[in-house]
Structure 1
């Protein structure tokens, strides 16, 4: 596998080795020892799976006191995935990284604890699976508005399909800088 660093500390793009032949393909989507060698020696304690239609935007979400690291991949279709640093006082606060993940390229993104995470669906349908380093706690959840002017993320959709919850997220506080 190849691990690519990004402009944000800890945010990694993982390109696994894919073995293809006339039958189809095979890959390891996670191997603890290999991921540990790449700097991801974290316990994953929860797996999540979502299916969404084109134009759906989920996020930007984070956990306040029990932040989750997430290893994200698309298993059907394609998404534009974003990690944004929302840790007050961080030197990269308010910066973000975006990457397209698709079922065709098998790429993954690792979003470390302390970052907000979100994605939008750019194919007709997308299924996304992600491993988390801590369990989800709805009482600990926070979020940042998807079109936050400080972040200025150029999402590849104009009018996203949002959950009621995601329409109520506040902007990123300027005081965190």
Structure 2
């Protein structure tokens, strides 16, 4: 590894550790120390798509919240934190064309060009705060809550509830 910088070694150990667990090449962006370990290669993105459709079938819908009327009426604003490839958002944006959807993720694994016009993706890290003004969203979901550590919950929840009207 040529570089004896301890933080560089630390990053490499984390990536190598994950490769050992998963036993396949990873496409990780290493610009700063990793806060969590979610792969973003094609096989894992396909798995996320499949998981969305499994959940939709299992729960007989895309959400368990009284937002149907708002989505149908239109101009309902929805945020998906940790949206990954955006499968949930694509599903909803196609069904509720009058509402507006936003996906936030620190990896750009979502479609950039081929997407409904009422769907927007933002590359940002939820742990740095959500880059939207207070009161912007009618509904916020975070399917990635399993990556939130105990000492991060208060911050993330406070960010999410700023959007409830």
| Structure with bigger RCO (C-alpha 8 Å, 6+ apart) | 1
Higher strand share: 1
Larger Rg: 2
TM superposition score normalised by structure 2: 0.28
Higher helix share: 2
